[in-house]
Amino acid sequence: MGQKPLVIAGATAPEIVTLLEAINDDAPTYEIVGFVDDDEARLGQTFCDYPVLGGTGLLADKLRHCLVVNNVAKTAAIRARVFKKLRGIGGAGFPSIIHPRVSVRRATVGDATVIHEGCVIGPGAAIGENCLLSFHVIVAHESIMGDAVLASPGVILNGRVRVEEGAFLGAGCIILPYRSVGAWSMVGAGSVCLEDVPPHVTVFGAPARVIQKKEPVAK
């Protein structure tokens, strides 16, 4: 079988290109057609040597045969809204994109989730759809990650941690075993969570403390 045509939604973060190229170096899998982006200023430009073809509406017509990767990660809420929009437009599917050196044996990974180089996914772990795990994230055994979670570089989830939908985990934060992070909450960079994090809050520090309460995210 030949390479599958694929477009990247969001001409913003270049790391997705190096990830896809690493997958193709290991086993030719995807033909990177280019980017779609609703920012009209990007139309006709190139990003990481690939063309910005036009807006996301192309997925309903000219690019409907292509697989789609959601490369939008400004916030978890924005990533979730973009994915909902992309699903409503079309495309041929939303594969999980996992670095070839990352083992997900005895773990489950949802559609449209992106896992970068150096991550460790333990046995029994479950990662939802449309998540983004940046470099060197550790998800230890039997930990559960809901949909649309963003995990920054160096995050550590110890055994049997639960992270609910839309949470944002800052770089290098540590969640101790059996703890939970509530939906749409934010854990600041370098924080250590000794206790459960409620939904819709921002926590920071070692140990982590609530520093801000947030409005519930409208879906």
Q: Mention every residue, 6+ apart, whose C-beta is less than 8 A from residue 11.
A: 35, 37, 39, 42, 45, 47, 52, 71
CA–CA separation, 28 vs 91, rounded Å? 21
Which residues share a beta bridge with 69?
8
- Catalytic annotation on 65? no
CA–CA separation, 93 vs 113, rounded Å? 12
Pairing state between β 50-54 and 30-36 = parallel
Among the options 65, 99, 116, 141, which is catalytic?
141
Q: Mention every residue, 6+ apart, whose C-beta is less than 8 A from residue 46.
A: 52
Among all residues, which ones are annotated catalytic?
Answer: 141
